[in-house]
Amino acid sequence: MTPHRVTLQAIDDQEEVFAAAFRAGDISGARRLYHDDIVYLSPTTRLFGWPGRIEGRDRALEFIQLTITGLADIDYGVDERAVVSDDSAYTRIRFDFDVGARRLRSVYVVVYRYRDGLICQQELYYDPSAHLDEV
C-alpha cells in the first residue's frame, strides 16, 4: 500500500470541497474528506454548549452544520496554507457570511492531521469572543 502524503495540491482540493459545501449551506458535501473516527476541536463548541472535543464523523458534521445554520451567502477562502509534515497541514481561512443585513468576516487557522488520506483531526484556532469584522 502506498502511503498517503499531504501535498499543496491535496490541500487545495480539500479546501475547494469545503468551499463548495459551505456555499451550498450543507456540510455533508465534505463528508468524504473525514475519517470515520475524526476528532474535531474548536473553541466554537462552547458557544453552542457542546464538548470541546467532538469525536466521530457524524457528530463532527452535525456540529459544523449547526454553526452555519442561519448564515447566508458563505464565502470560504484560503489565505495561506502549508504542508507541515507527511500527515499534517495548516490553513488560514477567511470565512465571509451574511447574517440578516450584515456581511461579516471570521478569520481562523485550522491544523489538519490525516490518516489513510482522510482528516482524522481538525483543530480550529481563533477567539470566538472577538469582534467579527464587517465587510
Predicted model pTM? 0.93
HSE value, Cβ hemisphere, 13 Å, CA-based, for 79: 11
In this structure, the chain runs to a length of 135
In the numeric block, which cell numbers belong to residue 2? 502506498
What's the pLDDT at 127? 85
What's the pLDDT at 111? 98
Report all structural domains of the chain as residue ranges with CATH numbers, in order of start: 8-127 (3.10.450.50)
- How far from 14 is each of 7, 65, 94, 132, CA to CA, in Å? 11, 17, 15, 25
What's the pLDDT at 3? 65
Residues of the chain with pLDDT under 70: 1-3
What's the pLDDT at 1? 39
Dist. CA 13–CA 97, nearest whole Å: 22
Task: Using the structure block, give the residue that is written with the C-alpha cell 457542546.
Answer: 50
Q: How do residues 66-77 score in pLDDT, each as one tens digit?
A: 999 999 999 999
